[in-house]
Amino acid sequence: QVQLVESGGGLVQTGGSLRLSCAASGRTYSASSMGWFRQAPGKEREFVSAINWSGGATLYADSVKGRFTISRDNSNDTVNLQMNSLQPEDTAVYYCAVLKTWLPAQGLYWGKGTLVTVSS
Residues 39-96: pLDDT tens digits?
A: 999 999 999 999 999 999 999 999 999 999 999 999 989 999 999 999 999 999 999 9
Separation of alpha carbons 104 and 17, rounded Å: 27
Cβ–Cβ under 8 Å, residues 5 and 23: yes
**At CA 41, angle to CA 36 and CA 42, rounded to 5?**
115
- Model pLDDT for residues 90-107, shown as the tens digit of each residue: 999 999 999 999 999 999
**Residue 20, SS3 per DSSP:** strand
Separation of alpha carbons 68 and 49, rounded Å: 8
